[in-house]
Amino acid sequence: MSRVHVTCTINGDPAEFLCDGGQTLLDALRDEVGLTGAKEGCGTGDCGACSIVMDGRLLCSCLVLAPEAEGTTISTVEGMASGDDLHPLQQCFLEGAALQCGVCTPGFLVAAKALLDRNPEPTETEIRYGLAGNLCRCTGYDKIVRAVQAAATQITATNES
Partner 1 sequence: MTVTEPKPSYKYVGTRPVRHDGLEKVTGRARFAADLNMSGQLHGIVVRSPHAHARIVSIDTSEAEAMPGVKAVITGDDFPAVEPGHRQYDMCINVIARDKVFYEGHALAAVAASTRDQAQAAAAAVKVEYEVLPAVLTIDQALAADAPVLHAHMMTAGANPPAEEPSNISNITRFSGGELDAGFAEADLVIEREFTTQPVHQGYIEPHACVADTGQDGHTTIWCSSQGHFNVRSSTATLLGWENTRIRVIPAEIGGGFGGKTTIYLEPLAVALSAKAGRPVKMVMTRDEVFRATGPAPGTKLRIKLGVKRDGTLVAGDAYLIYTNGAYAGPGGLLGAMTVFESYKIPNFEIEALDVVINTARSAAYRAPAAPLTAYAMETMLDEIAEELGIDPIDFRIQNAVTEGDPSTMGFPFARIGFVECLEAVRDHPNYKAPLGPNQGRGIAAGYWFNIGESSSATVNLNEDGTATVVTGSPDIGGSRASMALMAAEELGIDVYDIRPVVGDTEAVGFTDVTEGSRATFATGMAVVEACRRMVVELRGRAAKMMGVEVDDIDWVDGQAVYTGSDGDKAPLSVAEITAKAKRTGGPLTATGSLEAHGAGPGFAVHVCDLEVDPETGVVRVVRYTASQDAGTAIHPSYVEGQIQGGVAQGVGWALNEEYIYDSDGVMENPSFLDYRVPVASDLPMIDAIIVEVPNPAHPYGVRGVGETGIVPPIPAVANAIYGATGCRIRDLPMSPIRVLDAITSNGGSNGA
Partner 2 sequence: MGTSGSKPLAAGPGVELTAGGVSAMGYDLMLSVMRYASPTTVAEAVDLLGSEADARVYAGATDLIPQIRAGRPEPTVMVDLKRIERLCAISANGSTYTVGAATPTADICADPGLVAAFPGLVEASGLIGSDQIQSRSSWGGNLANASPAADTPPSLIVNEARAVIAGPGGERTVAAAEVATGPGQTSLAPGEILVEFELDQPPARTADAYLRLIPRTEMDIAVVGAAARVTLDADGNVTAAAIALGAVAPTVVRVPEAEAALIGNQPSGDALAAVEAAAAAATTPIDDKRGTVAYRRQVAGVLARRAVTIAAERARERGGQS
69 or 127: CB nearest partner 1: 127
Residues 67-96: x where in contact with partner 1 by CB under 8 A, - otherwise, as a string: ---------xxx-xx----x---x--xxxx
Per-residue interface string for the shown chain with partner 1, residues 10-49, x marking contact by CB under 8 A? ----------x---------xx---xxxxxxxxxx-xx-x
Determine the interface stretch with partner 2 among 52-60, 84-92, 136-144, 148-156 (rule: CB under 8 A). Answer: 52-60
Q: At what angle do helices 88-95 and 142-160 cross, to 10 degrees?
A: 140
Per-residue H/E/C for the chain = CCCEEEEEEECCEEEEEEECCCCEHHHHHHHHHCCCCCCCCCCCCCCCCCEEEECCEEEEHHHCEHHHHCCCEEECHHHCCECCECCHHHHHHHHCCCCCCCCCHHHHHHHHHHHHHHCCCCCHHHHHHHCCCCCCCCCCCHHHHHHHHHHHHHHHHHHHC
Instruction: Out of 29, 115, 145, 152, name the contact with partner 2 by CB under 8 A.
Output: 115
Least distance (Å) between residue 77 CB and partner 2: 14
Regarding 123 and contact with partner 1 (CB under 8 A), the answer is no
127 membership: H or E segment, kind and range: helix 124-130
Is 155 a binder of partner 1 (CB under 8 A)? no
Q: Which is nearer to partner 2, 24 or 76 (CB)?
A: 24
What is the binding site for partner 2 (CB under 8 A)? Answer: 1, 4, 19-24, 27, 43-46, 48, 51, 57-60, 62-65, 67-68, 70, 111, 114-115, 129-130, 132-134
